[in-house]
Amino acid sequence: MAEGWLRKLGGEGFDAFSAGTEPTTVHPLAQKVMAEANVDISTQRAKSIDEFADQHFDYVITLCGGAQKTCPVFPGEYQSLHWDIPDPAEAGGSDEERMNAFRSARDDLRARVQNLVPESSGRSSGH
């Protein structure tokens, strides 16, 4: 979801890449709640951070507690940020409660990306 927001809100000023320490798939509920906000992430795929080991980034942003501890070091200088957002895929309860967990994460990510984009004018890429 963060990659989708950065692509939409950051425009051409950013190259956004999302990756995980244990990637599986892009969750169908993430696709659904992003579509509610007119952001299409249906073509995104789950990627491993290993795919980006040799790339330079201006920002490396980790989400959820475990990612901050297991994220590798990337080459060059970059700003490291941690956004501790509960993983909505771990939410239980009814279908509506699960959707609300994804909506909450979506909205939190949007606000954080909106705050990041003005701060980073002049930067060429983001992660």
CA gap 117, 127 in Å, rounded: 12
pTM of the model: 0.82
Q: Yes or no: say if 41 and 110 are a contact pair by the CB < 8 Å rule.
A: no
- In the three-class reduction of DSSP (H, G, I as helix; E, B as strand; rest coil), residue 64 is classed as coil
pLDDT at 96: 96
72 in Cβ contact with 49 (< 8 Å): yes
- Confidence grade of residue 126 (pLDDT, cut at 50, 70, 90): very low
pLDDT at 46: 87
Domains and CATH numbers, the chain: 2-47+54-113 (3.40.50.2300)
pLDDT the model gives residue 70: 62
Q: Which two tokens stand for residue 61?
A: 């942003």
Per residue in 61-118, pLDDT tens? Answer: 888 766 556 666 676 788 888 898 999 999 999 999 999 999 999 999 999 999 988 7
CB atoms within 10 A of CB 88: 21
Instruction: Quickly state the pLDDT bin for 48 (edges 50, 70, 90).
Output: confident
